[in-house]
Structure 1
Amino acid sequence: MPLLKAALTLLASVFLHIVAVCSQDVLTSGNAGPWPLGNVYGLKQSAGGFHISERDRIIWSASLPFIGASAGHDQLVGSGGALNITQIDNAVCQGQNVSSISTVELEQAVDQTAVQLTGSLLECGDASLTYTVVFWVPVDLNDRVAFEIIVSSGDSETPPEKVYLTFDSNPQEDFYGLGAQTLASLKNQSVPVFSREQGVGRGDQPVTEYENSNGTFGGGNSFTTYTAIPSYISTDSNGFYLSVESTALSFFDFTNPHKVTVRYGDLNVSGAFFQASDMFEAIERLTAYTGRMPALPKWVDEGAILGIQGGQAKVEGIVQQSLSIGCPVAAVWLQDWSGTHSQTGPWTNISRLWWNWENDEDLYPEWSTFVQGLRSEDGVRTLSYVNTFLANVSTKPDGYRRNLYAEADRLHYFVQNSTTNSTAIISSGPGLDAGIIDLTNPQLREWFDEIMKTQVWNFANISGYMSDFGEYTPVTPETVLANVTTDALVFHSYYPYLWAQYQRELVESLGLQEEALIFHRSAAMGSNRYMNLFWVGDQNVDWGINDGIKSVVSIMAHMGISGYSQQHSDIGGYTDVLTYSGFNLTRSPELLGRWGELAAVSSAVFRSHEGNIPGVNAQFYSNSSTYHYYGYNARMFVSLAPYRQRILATESATKGWPLLRPAVLYHSTDTEARKISYESFYLGPSLYVAPVLDPQTFEVDVYLPDKACEYTHVWTGVSYNGGQRVKVAAPYGKPAVFLVGGKWLPELQSFLLFVEQENGASLSID
């Protein structure tokens, strides 16, 4: 892997290869262009600005000033990964001139030729700044125009810290992507792109207000997300992204109906833009750059992944009971394999995990034998849990074989604090101090490789794990990493990329590409090329829009447009909230059942979670009703396996198209389809789904796009013409699923057989 110093120089080295071929002073020459960019693109000066054309079609235009800068260090306040961002903009530049346009040589460009603009940014406080912008067509991706902007720091008393790029937008254009978002269109919003804890509530009330009331920003807001993915696709089939190396905090501002402004938190930024024939082709072009997700192991389609905690005897009993009631079980996910630690909370204690990657000898004393026994005797695989931390286990009651924290701390393998010249401590509550492994340190990687291979993979015949966190690297000036020269704030959102890359390289070194399932919640630009499954993070155990069951659909829609084709959620949600003030969130049997329905008809993997306080939640194993509802949903998931496999193999692997598809992808000119976030979606091309996402709801009002299309409700056989809203019954176990006319595939036969056999089933939520 290249040194991170080089990777995070933000492409400044590009300009070492530029040699001017010819140039014109645009203020005096009168040469308006076009200036060729490859064979089909060209830059041309127009009245008050510039545009770039693909043959005769304008794909990008901007009026002066389209480059800007400002001073001021953005404030990030909070604890751990829960960070509140306040934008600080001083000495904002008031104008821009272009002094010259040059044809330059560039190795990365088609024909090794690029176009360079130079000039000044004017009235930036007490000074003017110089800048350079280069446009080129990449030699390996010749269906787009790449750019890089470099702004000089100048001699100002208030040196600039941020760059702005502003370009034209169609007022009727809607925007989608930018990672894990919960709105429908992002039009009229200013969206931060930064990896952090998403919070508890994200704007859903009253939980967000409660969580934010102590000043820690624990509730977040509607734009806090684990992901930092600076790419969007619009309903005009315009695509825009910042490069993998451009990892600083950015804001995408869509509030001006005629403009898009990207505010980037450093003086060098690069990226690309293009115009495709439709939104699907735009995703294909985007993922040609980012990469596409590796294939899932085939075993995930065999049944449910049961999330269980509590030790060997409990796990074995639940597995046997699940199999006995006809619930197909592909695997168990045992996040507590390394042991648990009790923390005091309102009304009941909260169980936390010991982040020390060896089996706990109290809960799982025969870990290796137990894992192998589940697989050989019941055909059930085992998944465990790993994250970016190592916790100090010196007080672990049942002991430990190795204190990995102590070893890494002594060797300075953690992210460091320059003030103390020691580990940058992350506290996850009383009694749980931890360090973040420094993935930029080659010695750490060698040491951690040995741990992962001997204590996680080779010690027991596991099939993967949750690969948690990635969004916690500190952003303070005191933060030090072994092999990074950039500001900690610039590096922060790159860490999820390194974490995904590390895990994939480890799996490949072990030859387990076809067996291992590694699922992540943190993500960065391009990290999808390294992860075979994304999980949408920690949702509340409620029906909320921003952080409950509804948010799952919205997040998957935007993540799919961001290049993450294979996704799933914690069935039932994760976050319980218990307070002394009379406000509590705990999981109901109904929410668990409806969430299972959603997972069956939306996700690439069917996996449940007990939640952060299992004892207050309805669990799939709580009673016979929850067992049977869960087993029913798992069978529905399995029945869709041939259909999912076809889509993932023929469209996701080759084009990057997502499994779950928001209606706008197929109907970009339909104003109603643009407004849909969680209400309905396509599962591949042949199914249209309107899940039940509210309590005590047994009928859905669903919008069917496209007047020319016919939709057949699978449970009743009734067909409807598109271009209208219809109401259909949706009792427990029967989410509104429609066959889309003309797109039926033979791989749907097993699902339709399930519908036929189970149409008379009656499920309860006792």
Structure 2
Amino acid sequence: MMLKLLQCSLLTLLYTQDSAASPEQSSSVALDGEYTLSWLQDSLVITEGDTTVWSTVPGKPFIGASAGNDSFPGSNGAFNITQVDIDRCTDQSISSVQSVPWDGTVTGSAGQVKGQLLSCGTGSAEFELTFWISANLTDQVAFYLNIIQQSGSATPLKKLYFSFASTANEDIYGLGAQASFASLKSQSIPVFSREQGVGRGDQPITGILNQNGSFAGGDKFTTYTAVASYITTEGRMFSLSEKSTGYVNFDFTEPDTVTFRYDSLSVDGAFAKAGDMFGAVERLTALTGRMPQLPKWVDNGAILGIQGGQSKVEEIVLHGLNVSCPIAGVWLQDWVGTHSQAGPYINVSRLWWNWENDQQLYPAWPAFVQGLRDQYNVRTLSYVNTFLANVSTKPDGFERNLYAQADKAAYFVQNTTTNSTAIISSGPGLDAGIIDLTNPGLRSWFSQVLKEQVWGANISGYMSDFGEYTPVTSDTRLYDLVSDAFFAHDEYPLLWAQYQRQTIEELGLENEALVFHRSAATGANQYMNLFWVGDQNLDWGVNDGIKSVVTIMLHMGLSGYAHQHSDVGGYTDTLTYSNYNVTRSAELLGRWGELAAVSSSVFRSHEGNIPSVNAQFYSNDTTYQYYAYNARMFVALAPYRRLILETECATKGWPLLRPPVMYHPQDLKARQISYQSFYLGPDVYVAPVLDAGVQAVSVYLPGGSNSTFEHVWTGQVYEGGQDITVSAPYGKPAVFLVNGTQRAELKSFTNFVHLENGTKLSIA
């Protein structure tokens, strides 16, 4: 060890003494006893023993920068990004590779590469690229890249580029809630938290919503999350740190190169090389954190999404119990009351964001919540978001106008042009402010609001909505003036999750509370025990319908978010003047329930944004029986699901839902599977029904002849490495037990299959 360090120090000394040393000259720096940074003639290489962990592409520049201001015009959470690059540097030189003192490392030092960026228009710049092994994460390499602006350029540099080697056959997964791709290889992916849009490329709805310059329909790259981490089929992990919250774009379009473009002149993160994709996820979550455990009560049944007030809720709960629907809870987002807004053909109901119970719908709120729990063992979930709405026009009045109080105290994100609250409009009659989580006064005040007015009713959790709306305009100001609005935007989902978790821990509700988010950021997973995939269209679409749910969960799982779920039935109705409407059918509702039963860690339904035009689980006995059946299937899988959550998700960060490529990284067909099939833990393989009118599914069984798949409904056993077609009537998604598993925790599921195999379900 000492000899190796001495040799590396001598090499570094020889190299750095000659400031004009040729880039062809080799030099090495020991990062610790195992990792070494080397300059080998025309590339940087980091090795762990004899294994190459990371390298640049030989003969190609790996650091760059450019001038120009990117554009982020936005309205109500929908941002349209235009990248602007002026005077991009096209060349570089290396001046030294040396050891430098560095805090927090194994050795007290780091390896640093210094050089110049050349041909940046009329100017140039210096860069420092530093690598080290953290004392608390010794199986990965941390890095920090800093570019120092030099004089001589007419336009200052604003952003950096960092490139490193990939391979043509390396597939890439992660980067948060990606809904439209299996592997991300060959794509260029922007990472920025925003409304995902309505349609996201599914037509004609996307085109209708994006008419006249609007971006409400989004595209294949719009997502609620800003998670800058990924893993690959070669067991590689890469992640920016939770402090690097600027806009970033990952370009995977070159076969041999990954390039990320970061909208600042400094960035940090880490990377690693594990033996397989499971090891890569484990190292990623060691860095970013792992999700807290889900409360065990969620295993007991469905969480019924209902609106309409106390009498309606209790009636629907009783109906469910009468049709043998296991019910764990109710989710009542309208507990704060509703506000009617005009829409095409029909009025739309919106919520009053004031975080107190509505006196018309829920006049006895605390007693009602407790009564459901005492009489039926049914917990209650409510709804909270990052806004406070002005309720001065609320017809049935209010106890406290939280908006007025926060506005007076300047607790909202501010607009410097108007010198007042930055208003977010959510349609006519509903103006709101975004709470400023950098303001300690707001944090203290709003914590008391949550504890007294939300948690005080003995609820068991809530949807923790939004997090992606913070403006990025130059006249946006936060209390913490150090927090530039541009960087605060993608940090906000992290702050929101962290803030909610802190409140839960202060109340001692870690084992009871279920708080689910749709916005996310790098590192936010360590503060949320459930991710929710957001608002999908009530259709069968690939980019924004039921199919997108599976793809999102698979990529989020490989981004460190181990337990997730979707709204059973979807959310987004669209009624247009273009003779095209999106509403929910009973068939879609039933099939979505099947999907949730065999994929999600929580089974929760949603009425949709226009409940009156949708099939609901409680619409009639037929829809409720189908829903109850799916809830029973979910409960039957609970012992197995809980085992995986406790032994693999919690301890290793592995996702509950796994793409086939995780187990079969060399199977080229498995690499291209997105929504078509997945593993639930290691022992269950599923091909859900995700198209209308389908009573049989074709499914690829990965792995080859050394893998077996037993179809649970027929008992037939198939070998891997082939495409098969199996019957899939209502209630019978294609579910297989893998490799003859005899796991005891699956006994309740096989009992369910035996008891329910003859059950006939209908959508009529």
Who is 1:132 aligned against? 128
Does the C-alpha gap of structure 1 residues 742 and 33 become closer, same or farther in structure 2, counting only changes over 3 Å?
farther
Tell me how far 1:245 sits from its aligned partner: 0.4
3-state secondary structure, aligned to 2:357: coil
Who is 2:264 aligned against? 266
Aligned partners of 2:196 and 2:89: how far apart in 1?
33
1:423 aligns with 2:417: no
Tell me how far 1:24 sits from its aligned partner: 6.0
3-state secondary structure, aligned to 1:547: coil
Tell me how far 1:74 sits from its aligned partner: 0.8
Who is 1:343 aligned against? 341
Does the C-alpha gap of structure 1 residues 652 and 21 become closer, same or farther in structure 2, counting only changes over 3 Å?
farther
Aligned partners of 1:60 and 1:449: how far apart in 2?
44
3-state secondary structure, aligned to 1:764: coil
Aligned partners of 1:509 and 1:31: how far apart in 2?
57
Does the C-alpha gap of structure 1 residues 578 and 114 become closer, same or farther in structure 2, counting only changes over 3 Å?
same
Aligned partners of 1:534 and 1:50: how far apart in 2?
38
3-state secondary structure, aligned to 2:199: coil
1:517 aligns with 2:514: yes
**Please, which of 677, 700, 703 is the counterpart of residue 703 of structure 1?**
700
Who is 1:4 aligned against? none
3-state secondary structure, aligned to 2:271: strand
Who is 2:5 aligned against? none
1:36 aligns with 2:30: yes
Superposition map of 1:55-454 within 5 A = 55-62=49-56, 63-155=59-151, 156-182=153-179, 183-454=181-452
Aligned partners of 2:685 and 2:306: how far apart in 1?
32
Does the C-alpha gap of structure 1 residues 70 and 713 become closer, same or farther in structure 2, counting only changes over 3 Å?
same
Who is 2:546 aligned against? 549
Q: How many residues align?
A: 747
3-state secondary structure, aligned to 1:232: strand
Who is 1:732 aligned against? 730
Aligned partners of 1:712 and 1:172: how far apart in 2?
31
Specify the code of the residue in structure 2 equivalent to 1:420: T
Tell me how far 1:22 sits from its aligned partner: 7.3
Who is 1:5 aligned against? none
1:45 aligns with 2:43: no
Tell me how far 1:30 sits from its aligned partner: 7.0
Specify the code of the residue in structure 2 equivalent to 1:313: S
Tell me how far 1:48 sits from its aligned partner: 1.7
Deviations along 1:544-587, whole A, 9 cap, x unmatched?
00100000000000000000001000000000000112100000
3-state secondary structure, aligned to 1:184: coil
Percent identity of the aligned residues?
63
Does the C-alpha gap of structure 1 residues 418 and 158 become closer, same or farther in structure 2, counting only changes over 3 Å?
same
Deviations along 1:400-446, whole A, 9 cap, x unmatched?
01000000000000000111111000011111100000000000011
Does the C-alpha gap of structure 1 residues 77 and 401 become closer, same or farther in structure 2, counting only changes over 3 Å?
same
Note the residue ranges of structure 1 that are not aligned, 5 or more in a row: 1-18
3-state secondary structure, aligned to 1:320: helix
Does the C-alpha gap of structure 1 residues 158 and 323 become closer, same or farther in structure 2, counting only changes over 3 Å?
same
Tell me how far 1:636 sits from its aligned partner: 0.2
Who is 2:9 aligned against? none
Specify the code of the residue in structure 1 equivalent to 2:586: P
Deviations along 1:329-351, whole A, 9 cap, x unmatched?
00000000000000000110000
Aligned partners of 1:745 and 1:346: how far apart in 2?
53
Does the C-alpha gap of structure 1 residues 700 and 447 become closer, same or farther in structure 2, counting only changes over 3 Å?
same
Deviations along 1:510-543, whole A, 9 cap, x unmatched?
0000000000000000000000000000000000
Deviations along 1:570-622, whole A, 9 cap, x unmatched?
00000000011210000000000000000000000000000000000000000
Deviates more, 1:215-224 or 1:587-596: 215-224
Q: TM-score with structure 2 length normalisation?
A: 0.97
Who is 2:7 aligned against? none
Deviations along 1:261-303, whole A, 9 cap, x unmatched?
0100111100111110000010000000111000011100000
Specify the code of the residue in structure 2 equivalent to 1:587: R
Aligned partners of 1:553 and 1:484: how far apart in 2?
40
Does the C-alpha gap of structure 1 residues 20 and 405 become closer, same or farther in structure 2, counting only changes over 3 Å?
farther
Specify the code of the residue in structure 1 equivalent to 2:528: M
Does the C-alpha gap of structure 1 residues 253 and 636 become closer, same or farther in structure 2, counting only changes over 3 Å?
same
3-state secondary structure, aligned to 1:295: coil
Aligned partners of 1:691 and 1:214: how far apart in 2?
37
C-alpha contact 2:477 2:484 (8 A) present in aligned 1: no
C-alpha contact 2:124 2:149 (8 A) present in aligned 1: no
Who is 1:582 aligned against? 579
Aligned partners of 1:66 and 1:739: how far apart in 2?
47
Aligned partners of 2:639 and 2:19: how far apart in 1?
61
1:602 aligns with 2:599: yes
Aligned partners of 2:453 and 2:604: how far apart in 1?
24
Who is 2:6 aligned against? none
Note the residue ranges of structure 2 that are not aligned, 5 or more in a row: 1-12
Does the C-alpha gap of structure 1 residues 74 and 424 become closer, same or farther in structure 2, counting only changes over 3 Å?
same
C-alpha contact 2:26 2:41 (8 A) present in aligned 1: no
Who is 1:11 aligned against? none
Aligned partners of 2:126 and 2:668: how far apart in 1?
43
Who is 2:615 aligned against? 618
3-state secondary structure, aligned to 1:277: coil
Does the C-alpha gap of structure 1 residues 339 and 22 become closer, same or farther in structure 2, counting only changes over 3 Å?
same
Q: What is the Cα-based RMSD across aligned positions, in Å?
A: 1.4
Deviations along 1:185-212, whole A, 9 cap, x unmatched?
0011000001000000011111101111
**Please, which of 683, 687, 698 is the counterpart of residue 686 of structure 1?**
683
Superposition map of 1:521-536 within 5 A = 521-536=518-533
Specify the code of the residue in structure 1 equivalent to 2:185: K
4+ runs deviating over 3 angstroms: 19-26, 28-31
